[in-house]
Amino acid sequence: MATDCCGRRGTHRQCHPDLLDPLRAAARLWPLFPPVIGEVLPESVAATAGIESGDRILAVDGYAVRGFEDFQRYVATSPERQVAVELERDGASQTLTLVPEAVDVEDRFGNNQRIGRIGVTRDVSETDVTLYRPGPLEAIGMTVQEIRFIIQRTAAFLGDFFVGRGDVEQLGGPVKVAKVSGEVATLGIVALINLMALLSLNIGIFNLLPVPMLDGGHLLYYLIEAVRGRPLSMRTQEIGFRFGFALVMGLMVFTLFNDTVFAHFGILR
């Protein structure tokens, strides 16, 4: 059997930034595949970067890699973004940088996902699989790392729109949230709780953006007041709030149309 990190062979397992991948951290016990490269596809991103068969992946962008699926997820959530891969080869550690190519795939529910792919595979057998159970302190550390990962990837996703790499199809509003919630609910209560936590974290990140009308906008006003020694005039603050309100409402209307009309007619797809 073969499983891949953004190459495709053997089993038909999608390599995409599935929202449910972090769920395994919530489980007490789960199968773990060693993060060892089986094959590097010719002329792929990995081959160009210098990754070789037999390399053991240690970390990606500072995030520890415990199993091959960790490597898959870190790469898949970084399309067209440079990542640093720390690996072990012949007992020596080294770090390589690469930029996963962006490809479009379908997830298990038939939704389009834009993921990163580098072109490596990993051959596994049943004897390679180990059952991993983190201790209480390690579980806390894994939770902190997961939150850091979600925040960093969310910030990178938003940043893509400022450099022309953003994919509007990945933006969603209440309609998409309801659709995804229904899909995730079919996978069980643990998956649904994980999605709730993920949505709460993303809403919190959005609320901290420096846009008037949001909490981040208030913090921006406080910062300006601290620097100037006095608050902005009421007129200036009112203009800022109106701008922020228009921006937030415009985004809400856009996501609503993006989830319904645009999705139906294939606009911006």
Higher pLDDT, 40 or 22: 40
Q: Of 257, 61, 250, give the one whose Cα is nearest residue 175.
A: 257
Contact 269, 170 (CB under 8 A): no
- pLDDT > 90 fraction of the chain, expressed in percent and rounded: 37
Taken in order 129, 68, 37, 148, the sign of the CA dihedral is: negative
Average the pLDDT over each of 15-29, 143-157, 210-224 and give the range with the smallest value.
15-29
Contact 153, 21 (CB under 8 A): no
Model pLDDT, residue 143: 84
- What's the pLDDT tens digit per position in 144-178? 888 888 888 888 888 887 777 777 777 788 888 88
Indicate the pLDDT class of residue 125, thresholds 50, 70 and 90: low
Indicate the pLDDT class of residue 87, thresholds 50, 70 and 90: very high
**Which of 113-122, 130-139, 150-159 is most confident?**
113-122
Q: Is the pLDDT score of 20 beyond 60?
A: no
Taken in order 147, 153, 156, 161, the sign of the CA dihedral is: negative
